[in-house]
Structure 1
Amino acid sequence: MRAWIALVILGLALGACAPSPPSRLAGPEALDLPPVPRFGPARVTAPQRANREIAHDILEMGFFMESGRPLPVLSRFDGPVTVFLTGPEPPGARAEAEALIARLRQEAGLEVTLAAPGTPPAGRRVTAEFVPRAAMRRAVPQAACFIVPRISSWEDFRSQRRSPRLSWTTVTERDEVAVFIPADTTPQETRDCLHEEIAQAFGPLNDLYRLHDSVFNDDNFQTILTGFDMLLLAAWNDPALAIGMDRDAVAARLPAILARLNPRGERIAAAPLPPRRPQAWQDAIETAQGPGASRTRRRDAAAEALRIAIEADWRDARLAFSWFTLARLARPQEVDLALTGFLQAGMIYRSLPGAEAHVAHVDMQLAVFALSAGQPVEARLLARAAQPAARATQNAALLSSLMMVEAEALDRLGRTDEARRIRLDSLGWGRYGFGTIEVVNARLADIAALGQPRIGRQATGG
């Protein structure tokens, strides 16, 4: 389940002012806007962790729900599966689904096809229905998109949502799974939801915050299925495992499966296996991320999550994300805390193989700090260095924001022609990542405001 979270937060109340200066661009009416681009084929790398660690992850993901509730047996589809798209398809959604299905077939070896428009649903199937965002938020406020077993439509979900029939704890063989995605969202969120929810339809149902190299992680730094995710799906659907196996039976067969699918992982020394997360940390970090609490309550929850992570002596992505979350929720007067948080998070993420996307997010925030502090050279270096990772992980929102920061830094260095070219390039990626030119222009204005004299009210950030 993809949770609501905004990871590209600009300003942090560090130089925001009212009124904001105008964007460096005159507005959409004065521009020849570039088309909304699409990323090319994904180029993911194999997991850079030991198979022993990966087996531990698969067991925790496969035999527990996100709530911590245990799942008694392995459940999955048995045989070929068809994916159907229903409801008002957003522009580009079918192309994104086609690219995803091709990857699932090629990289994970799944027997899956995408049904042509208008094909009546039948057989083993995943039905991805596009539903108005407002309706989804009324039903499941914390989820951007989600999956449900044994139904094929939103109407079925509404009529049966409290039925025990829809509990994953009672599912052994999957025949029918519904995926619900907002019909009125950005192209990037449409793609992200397709990746995570359709992957969960074929694999484990849990998300783990410590998995920095996976989309099965509610920190949402990874936006497309990674090499780890494809290995996970291949292992979960391997013929050596059978529907209905309990945890011990799966644990006994996983080592041989992973040795065959991922021989490189046999040559990597395993780190100490982590214990299951304390529920108190999970509750605190979800409160800090969630839209239902006040900013003060979210900030206090982030501080509590960090305290728990430090006391538990974690050194992994959970500690880094605790620092990152507290930094983005720091109060306007807590500039030193925010900077310390991002620096600490960056130090941890840089030590983790496969965490380049996380480092790019941290460097985005540090570039904002540098721009706000009147250091355009440092801001440009940070923003430019993070762009390859944003492209590799196909995060258009992050890529656009990094390009906007680089362009603003170049403007302040007097390199206006370069700045204008990069800023124009950022618009297409911005429309893919943020949805509308109005939102993109607002982001440009926020960046232009960084480091300007403070007058009027303080902005609160995001």
Structure 2
Amino acid sequence: MTSLLSALRRLVFPVATLLLSACGPSAVPPGAAAPLPVLTRSNSQTAADFLELFFRLESGQTLTQFTRYEHPVKLVVAGEVPKAAWSEIDPLLRRLRNEGGVPITRTRHVEKADLVVEFVPRAQMRAFVPDIACFVVPEQRSFADYVAEGAQITPWADLQTRGQALLVIPSDSAGQDIRDCLHEELAQALGPVNDLWHLSDSVFNDDNVHGRLTAFDMLVLRLAYQPELKSGMSRAEVAALLPALLNRLNPAGGAVEDVPSRLPPRWWAQEMQLVLTPSLAPEQRLRMAERLAAFADSRGWEDNRRAFAHYLAGFHGLSADPDRAVQHFGESRRLYADLPEAALHMALVDLQMAGVFLAADQPEATLFLAEQAGEALRLADDRADLALSYLLRAEALERLDRGAEAAALRLDSLPLAGYGFPGEAALPEVLRDAGQAR
């Protein structure tokens, strides 16, 4: 364990003094969603990403035409709707209208709705899609119809324009999971049909780090709903319009120029999906994650593809080889430090390392890392991981004979955990698994 602790100290403590000197109270209370940051990415990369998001599926299949809604969108909420859902839906629709430029409103009439958000019990949903938290399918109006048709769906590639779509979310999910599902799946129903592994500033990435639609995501939707674009346009036609549209919507992003493709090989993307599959054996996930990280290193990628591969290799290697896991976390954090909007990713790396320090009975280091992660988690309104950071801090304080502070933190973690996790039964498990990813 000595080499493990040395590696962590080399990684963390050179910046500890600077960070701790800035640890004043946060202006954002726990659970409050902070304003999204100003977009700083280039229009060149945004244009390239937009085309890949709309003209390619996750399977790698290319699409021949652009699709979106060509009329004001009506959304209805159906099924066993949990109370937590109502506080998420209307604020999200306001953001989609105001920031994303999408003409969307809620209706109470299923027959008038373009989009149906249906809540069903998790067990019922998992009988058909066991490894998916929530999903959206085109040309369906209800979960019952989806089941009756044998869970067959109309391929996105067959759409001429956007029409009827069904979003299915487990009714017994935690509040945070409901929010995250609403943001990502509703955005997919309205816009991008693809996820891109290199994006560190978007929900359109299967790393599932960002839960709320980001400034980049809203720009993508606003682009999609500009009057110059229409369903049926080819990739070349859309590409020809993007420079002028981006100059209008994001003038600070500069002129649009060609950029190298960031699409990874298909085998790499497929294995990334497998590493995230809970039903796969842990040793298989570790071998795959190590292979993915090594390949990303060999290609010299300097984006989320490589950073997240190292994160996964570290996470899945914690039990087998803690020293090696910490090396992966260190490389992941180094890469994220140079990426846009990656503070949340770095916070999740810090939580992993805080758990390692706690297991090594190093409470001071645990406390520092968990506190360091807290600000980004608060700003992202990631209450599940913020609750975990509180519990890590509380355990560290307990070991430092600061019991009163530990008790206060545990109390403060309860409302966060109540939103971030599906029930009280999850809390002891969170504490037992402190330092592991959700």
Please indicate, yes or no, whether the TM-score normalized by the shorter chain is above 0.5.
yes
Q: Name the counterpart of 1:338.
A: 325
Asked if the contact 1:221–1:358 (Cα under 8 Å) also holds between the matched residues in 2, the reply is: yes
Q: Given the alignment, which residue of 378, 399, 402 partners 1:391?
A: 378
Q: Given the alignment, which residue of 419, 422, 426 partners 2:406?
A: 419
Asked if the contact 1:77–1:124 (Cα under 8 Å) also holds between the matched residues in 2, the reply is: no
Q: Matched residue pairs, number?
A: 410
Q: 2: distance between equivalents of 1:177 and 1:461? A: 32
Does residue 1:257 correspond to 2:245, yes or no?
yes
Letter in 2 for 1:234: R
Asked if the contact 1:281–1:309 (Cα under 8 Å) also holds between the matched residues in 2, the reply is: no
Q: 1:382 to 1:307 in 2, by over 3 A?
A: same
| Partner SS state of residue 83, structure 2 | coil
Q: Given the alignment, which residue of 133, 143, 156 partners 1:154?
A: 143
Q: Name the counterpart of 2:84.
A: 92
Does residue 1:431 correspond to 2:418, yes or no?
yes
Q: 2: distance between equivalents of 1:129 and 1:58? A: 28
Letter in 2 for 1:155: A
Asked if the contact 2:32–2:378 (Cα under 8 Å) also holds between the matched residues in 1, the reply is: no
Does residue 1:197 correspond to 2:197, yes or no?
no
| Partner SS state of residue 240, structure 1 | coil
Superposed CA deviations along residues 208-260 of structure 1, whole A, max 9, x for unmatched, are: 11111000111011111111111011001111111110100000101111111
Q: 2: distance between equivalents of 1:384 and 1:111? A: 41
- What is the Cα deviation at residue 312 of structure 1? 2.1
Does residue 1:126 correspond to 2:115, yes or no?
yes
Q: Name the counterpart of 2:303.
A: 316
- What is the Cα deviation at residue 266 of structure 1? 1.6
| Partner SS state of residue 111, structure 2 | coil
TM-score, with structure 2 as normaliser: 0.89
Q: Given the alignment, which residue of 55, 62, 65 partners 2:57?
A: 65
Asked if the contact 1:80–1:124 (Cα under 8 Å) also holds between the matched residues in 2, the reply is: no
Q: Given the alignment, which residue of 158, 178, 181 partners 2:166?
A: 178
Q: 2: distance between equivalents of 1:132 and 1:38? A: 29
Asked if the contact 1:47–1:213 (Cα under 8 Å) also holds between the matched residues in 2, the reply is: no
Q: Given the alignment, which residue of 221, 230, 234 partners 2:218?
A: 230
Superposed CA deviations along residues 351-405 of structure 1, whole A, max 9, x for unmatched, are: 1121011001001111112222222222111111111111111111110001111
Does residue 1:219 correspond to 2:207, yes or no?
yes
Does residue 1:242 correspond to 2:230, yes or no?
yes
Letter in 2 for 1:43: P
Superposed CA deviations along residues 254-288 of structure 1, whole A, max 9, x for unmatched, are: 11111111112128x98953342101111221111
Asked if the contact 2:371–2:393 (Cα under 8 Å) also holds between the matched residues in 1, the reply is: yes
Does residue 1:359 correspond to 2:346, yes or no?
yes
Does residue 1:106 correspond to 2:95, yes or no?
no
Asked if the contact 1:49–1:270 (Cα under 8 Å) also holds between the matched residues in 2, the reply is: no
Q: 2: distance between equivalents of 1:199 and 1:205? A: 9
Asked if the contact 1:50–1:270 (Cα under 8 Å) also holds between the matched residues in 2, the reply is: no
Q: Name the counterpart of 1:303.
A: 290
Asked if the contact 2:44–2:259 (Cα under 8 Å) also holds between the matched residues in 1, the reply is: no
Asked if the contact 1:63–1:73 (Cα under 8 Å) also holds between the matched residues in 2, the reply is: yes
Q: 1:153 to 1:386 in 2, by over 3 A?
A: same
Asked if the contact 1:346–1:362 (Cα under 8 Å) also holds between the matched residues in 2, the reply is: yes
Q: 2: distance between equivalents of 1:141 and 1:311? A: 34
Letter in 2 for 1:91: K
Q: 1:395 to 1:279 in 2, by over 3 A?
A: same
Q: Name the counterpart of 2:9.
A: none
Q: 1:212 to 1:275 in 2, by over 3 A?
A: closer
| Partner SS state of residue 178, structure 1 | strand
Q: Given the alignment, which residue of 44, 47, 58 partners 1:52?
A: 44
TM-score, with structure 1 as normaliser: 0.85
| Partner SS state of residue 69, structure 1 | coil
* Alignment RMSD (CA, Å): 2.1
Letter in 2 for 1:409: A
Q: Name the counterpart of 1:286.
A: 273
Superposed CA deviations along residues 266-311 of structure 1, whole A, max 9, x for unmatched, are: 28x9895334210111122111110221111111111221122122
Q: 1:299 to 1:44 in 2, by over 3 A?
A: same
Letter in 1 for 2:371: R
Q: Given the alignment, which residue of 442, 446, 451 partners 2:429?
A: 442
Q: How high is the sequence identity, in percent, across the aligned residues?
A: 37
> Quick one: higher RCO (CA 8 Å, sep 6+), 1 or 2?
1
| Partner SS state of residue 179, structure 1 | strand
Q: 1: distance between equivalents of 2:422 and 2:400? A: 30
Asked if the contact 1:81–1:112 (Cα under 8 Å) also holds between the matched residues in 2, the reply is: yes
- Between 1:81-90 and 1:407-416, the stretch displaced more is 407-416
- What is the Cα deviation at residue 47 of structure 1? 2.5
- What is the Cα deviation at residue 41 of structure 1? 4.5
